[in-house]
Structure 1
């Protein structure tokens, strides 16, 4: 698996966006209405998430499951390594996503293309 982005929950993307674009100078890579906005933060994409795209209440790393691997297998491997599932895998508008909690108590989001 490879970290692909940092999910950053916000109440309102329009209100939060100027801080990241004008303040930090990040460029918008992709936007999906009022629920998702991907920003170019160098090695990682910083994804502002709101509404139904906000699966976590605090910033969390999101890992994309390797091509050809089922998300259920990746979840099982992480649970065997000490994680717990806080939000089971569910299909969203663009991908299947699950939220786990690391052994240290931090949120970790897994995603896979259907």
Structure 2
């Protein structure tokens, strides 16, 4: 498992990109229309999620895994709870969990 993104839900993508890029100086790495933008935040990516890509209601760590089902099984056995089952996103397969402390976690695996 590797933390790769801080998924940050926003109401509208354009003003959020402008703030993080122009005000905070984070370079834009990738944009997918009005639904998602990735900014370079150093050792991880800040992923702005709007519209149908807003799969969490508050900031969440996104972890990349090789085996989504195996990772889900292990985390659920360790006390996490499932908020959204595995589903195909536009760029990966992902699931949303809640860690025992109450914070959301997003697991994703490349297709």
TM-score, scaled to structure 1: 0.95
Per the alignment, in what secondary structure is the counterpart of residue 70 of structure 2? helix
Aligned to 1:100: 97
Per the alignment, in what secondary structure is the counterpart of residue 18 of structure 2? helix
Q: 1:89 aligns with which of 83, 86, 109?
A: 86
Give structure 1 regions of 4+ aligned residues with deviation exceeding 3 angstroms. none
* Contiguous gaps of at least 5 residues in structure 1: none
1:93 CA displacement: 1.1
| C-alpha RMSD over aligned residues | 0.7
Per the alignment, in what secondary structure is the counterpart of residue 94 of structure 1? coil
Aligned to 2:108: 111
Post-superposition Cα deviations, 1:23-64, rounded to whole Å, max 9, x if no partner, equal 100000000000010000000100000011111010000000
Find the aligned partners of 2:2 and 2:12 in 1 and give their Cα distance: 28
Q: 2:74 aligns with which of 73, 77, 81?
A: 77
Aligned to 1:61: 61
The reply on whether 1:39 has 2:17 as its aligned counterpart is: no
Aligned to 2:21: 21
